[in-house]
Homo-oligomer: A and B are copies of this chain.
Amino acid sequence: MSNFAFGLGVGTQSAAGDWLEVYFNAPLLNAADDLIKAVGDALGYEGGNQTIEIEESQLKALEAAFLSVGAEDQAEIVEVLEGTRQPLVVCILASDEEPQTTAEVYLKLSLLSHRLVKPHGINLTGMFGKLPNVAWTNEGAVALDELPKRQLAARAQGRVLDVHSVDKFPKMTNYVVPAGIRVGDAARIRLGAHVGEGTTVMHEGFINFNA
């Protein structure tokens, strides 16, 4: 069972249940066959490229699956997620086809910023259509049509909902800070940027996704 990529993610959905973004703590490129088989058995995966939304109640089985194949790192991620109320997703990509879901796009952008694939080394065709335009705030991703109510409610409670950007792409550093870099203003680097070790991005710089 060959595999292109794997990721266990925790993300944000709109009130309507649409995915706004997904955080993959430790995505895998070419995951081991036995890991995919164990996880697949636990989640009912039947092959191909799948975005599988999971419940918190499935995490114990997922942890056992990881431990059964010695994937301690992934098992540790599951442990941290146990008890969460945030939406969870598992992406299993058998091949590098065009991404079909928001989660798949985020997995692929994460592979780039984790330096697991090189710029232009991954199929992102049609990705824009899978990425919603989102308000990126100090309280996480917020759907644009929910923003005014959220801002008003925050104000009533004495807080400010601080909107950092309004964009299809989040900033890379909120997802991964690859080793050996310095970044003056993190707003300048989108998730999906591939920032080489030793790079310093001063405050005027801007690195686009997949660049």
Chain A positions near chain B (C-beta within 8 angstroms):
10, 23, 25-26, 77, 80-81, 83-86, 133, 135, 138-141, 144, 147-149, 151-153, 155-168, 171, 173-177, 179, 181-188, 202-204, 206
Partner of A177, one of B10, B144, B153, B176: B144
Copies of this polypeptide in the complex? 3
Q: Is the CB of B156 within 8 A of A86?
A: yes
Q: Is the CB of B167 within 8 A of A148?
A: no
Known: A86-B156, A185-B188. 13 other contacts (CB 8 A): A23-B155, A25-B151, A25-B152, A84-B156, A135-B173, A138-B138, A139-B160, A161-B174, A162-B174, A166-B173, A166-B183, A187-B187, A204-B206
Q: Is the CB of A85 within 8 A of B158?
A: yes
Q: Give the residue name and chain of the B residue nearest to A176 (CB).
A: B148
A161 to B175 alpha-carbon distance, docked (Å) = 9
Q: Give the residue name and chain of the B residue nearest to A164 (CB).
A: B186
A188 contact set on B, CB distance < 8 A: 185, 203
A166 contact set on B, CB distance < 8 A: 173, 177, 181-183, 186
Q: Is the CB of B187 within 8 A of A184?
A: yes
Partner of A135, one of B155, B163, B177, B206: B177
A133 to B167 alpha-carbon distance, docked (Å) = 28
- Nearest-Cβ distance from residue A191 to partner chain B, whole angstroms: 12
Q: Is the CB of B155 within 8 A of A138?
A: no
